[in-house]
């Protein structure tokens, strides 16, 4: 892995803060806070952070063990792919004492909105040591409810405190060793769509699996993501709407991938590209033994179909290695 080779690219991350085409998230499998903003949305850049009227993100990217890992995956839509990067720490270094039950943490003195630094934080108990998934409030009625339920496991179907949180819609604040995301928008109801812009997800069926991240992510054993970055995608905007191919965005992420991608995936991608360009037959090609290697091969073929569509046998390669599977799941933003 590249973790022992490359230092944390703080300059890259801080530049991404200023890019409205980038999205961010903090969380784990089944519990997530996302930050994004519109290209013309008013906001306030502050050192190591960005705040809008709908939410905020802050970086604390100075940990000596922090490393960046970039990767690509196929999307469910024909011909498209997704790209992401995770700012990682070893699990022991990332541990901030995330709770497994509702736990009061006191006043949020580190709030990115100074007006909220007297409000109370409560860890809702996602059960991951590297994550404090919190709500923040100064509402006396909600504070009474939360203090009375302290120590209870509220992330379970039908718990009354969970219903009270949806009704009151307090700020959500997700914190790791390296970052925090604050969400000020309302919590949608069970049958509502997530709002555009900053929002949170809590999916109890996924949360029960106890995974720090989805299996599709190529993080090495013993590492966890403390912040996820989704740089501008060349084929769709941050809401997933198709856009004309953006060559500059594609080149920018390929440069990041070359520097911070997993060597196995980079090697497999290069192997496929070379074979197709050489006119080799796909039937003679032995696919990678790992899911991450096979994903890199499929992405390589989709990118060749867009950038070099006249290559001989490209259609045969895609039919052999990039057949759409019924029920295949696209990589979520989490």
109/106 Cα distance (integer angstroms):
9
Number of domains in the chain: 2
Residue 194: its pLDDT value, please? 76
Beta carbons of 123 and 115 less than 8 angstroms apart: no
Last residue in a domain, options 230, 253, 285: 230
Is the pLDDT at 164 greater than 90, yes or no? yes
Q: Is the pTM of this model over 0.85?
A: yes
Q: For residue 286, what pLDDT band results from cuts at 50, 70 and 90?
A: very high
Residues 272 and 142 in one domain: no
Chain-wide mean pLDDT for the chain? 90
Q: Which residue has the tokens 């594609």?
A: 250
Is 330 a domain residue?
no
Is 253 a domain residue?
no
Tens of pLDDT, residues 186-243: 998 777 777 889 999 999 999 999 999 988 888 999 999 999 999 999 999 888 889 9
Is the pLDDT at 126 greater than 50, yes or no? yes
Sign of CA dihedral 62, 215, 235, 42: negative
Residues 74 and 211 in one domain: yes
Which domain covers residue 321, as residue numbers?
262-325
Q: For residue 7, what pLDDT band results from cuts at 50, 70 and 90?
A: low
132/136 Cα distance (integer angstroms):
12
């Amino acid at each position: 892995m590249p973790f022992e080779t490359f230092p944390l690219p703080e300059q890259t991350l801080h530049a991404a803060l200023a890019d409205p085409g980038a999205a961010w998230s903090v969380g784990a499998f089944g519990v997530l806070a996302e930050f994004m903003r519109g290209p013309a949305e008013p906001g306030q850049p502050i050192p190591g952070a960005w705040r809008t009227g709908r939410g905020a993100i802050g970086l604390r990217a100075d940990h000596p063990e922090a490393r960046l890992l970039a990767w690509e995956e196929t999307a469910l839509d024909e011909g498209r792919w997704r790209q992401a990067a995770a700012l990682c720490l070893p699990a022991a270094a990332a541990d901030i004492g995330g709770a497994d039950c509702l736990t009061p943490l006191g006043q949020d003195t580190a709030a990115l909105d100074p007006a909220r630094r007297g409000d109370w934080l409560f860890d809702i108990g996602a059960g991951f040591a590297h994550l404090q998934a919190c709500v923040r409030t100064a509402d006396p009625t909600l504070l009474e409810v939360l203090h009375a339920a302290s120590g209870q496991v509220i992330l379970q179907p039908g718990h009354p405190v969970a219903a009270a949180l949806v009704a009151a819609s307090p700020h959500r604040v997700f914190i790791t060793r390296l970052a925090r995301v604050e969400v000020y928008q309302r919590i949608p109801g069970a049958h509502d769509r997530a709002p555009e812009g900053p929002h949170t997800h809590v999916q109890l069926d996924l949360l029960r699996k106890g995974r720090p991240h989805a299996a599709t992510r190529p993080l090495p054993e013993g590492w966890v993501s403390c912040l996820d970055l989704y740089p501008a995608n060349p084929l769709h905007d941050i809401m997933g709407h198709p856009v004309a191919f953006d060559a500059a965005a594609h080149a920018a992420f390929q440069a990041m991938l070359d520097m911070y991608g997993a060597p196995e995936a980079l090697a497999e991608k290069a192997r496929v590209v070379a074979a197709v360009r050489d006119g080799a037959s796909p039937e003679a090609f032995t696919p990678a033994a790992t899911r991450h290697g096979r994903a890199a091969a499929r992405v390589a073929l989709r990118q060749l179909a867009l950038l070099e569509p006249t290559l001989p046998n490209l259609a045969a390669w895609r039919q052999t290695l990039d057949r759409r599977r019924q029920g295949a799941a696209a990589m979520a933003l989490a």
